[in-house]
Structure 1
């Protein structure tokens, strides 16, 4: 290659670099706590494949709803339910038509102790535990599902007063059990599911018909309507890499 041709090619490549830089962007994402591990993995792949960075915040869906209405700078919401994104869209806080279900969550009764939780959840009726952890049903859909499961089993939540330990979100509920502050707890299957099975301890995967489906919806928020990275992220969540990761963490689609 002649020096002149080399210089022209180098100049062309250098000229394309600013264009690539301007095309890559950032998107601020509010992520339901149960989706922490899969979203961290998806965000890494998203960055490698698109150049966009997803800046992630994890927490309870109910709290994110309040924060969004108080001006929090989130551009995308990945909720733990389908009602909160629908409500935000109806209130004008979300981009119409951007909402879709990215995952269907599964509830599990889990203990780090081997052999402690049976495969029917009968341990809940044996009065052999001091504390049962679950996410606060006022802010976390997995907490609502846990109460519905207790009702399905014929266990009134009132009879467990003094033994229920409420986490602010599903991550804190998991921490209560993992740390031993509660012998068992209702958590998201994704928190303990690896390689097609519960990775440690003992667990009962709650049948899907014991509670309303935990349909988890994504929504581009009003602050992200003009951000190409926000639209790119939702497109990516529908693609093969993201859906494979979502399934790998125990979710349905």
Structure 2
């Protein structure tokens, strides 16, 4: 009797435990399926300016409450889009890292709307010893003849500030931070800055000055000349020669006097007072 009662209680406990396990499993499945969504991520590293091909992306499950802004849930929507900022493997692709739809691949895809790209020649010194890399910011200095001087006096002046380096030679990747000595640097500028830079390189030599990427301060300088460099004072210009003034002849004539004739015998003279 006791054994049958114990067996019955054991069966009831097993049934209750199985029901609880099934209920918990069902709840977990419902919770997991309602809290995730599909997100397109990169299957490999994608470089800046590279168009996305079908094998470069796939969809994975992602927690719905931690979705980055601008993600794509359908990988097919990304085919042909161009990356304007490098994407790492496993990273979700977002609209902010893509060039506008219809943009072709290459350097032009990473130029900001309204800006232009211009390339300037550099050497191992002018190119900041190879430390000016894509993604860095530089100032541009021109050394030219000082205006208004005929003695070949030169002046160095900062003509452009906080200019983005788009590429060095033919490299646009911003992942490689090793210094590279190249003979050309491509800069992103506005149309007005492009004109100014083109004029600057035609009238003198250019130098690049590497600057902190978060430094937003703009400075207005007078430029450096030989006199300011050595701390000397330029000689004052010689005064212009004074031209002699022509005095009218009338001002130098003797003052007018009164004269009378004097007759003495057979001679006559004139006396003036």
TM-score by length of structure 1 reads: 0.27
TM-score by length of structure 2 reads: 0.26
Q: Which of the pair has the greater relative contact order for Cα pairs under 8 Å at 6+ separation? A: 1
Look at both structures and tell me which one has the larger radius of gyration over its CA atoms.
Answer: 2
More helix by share: 1
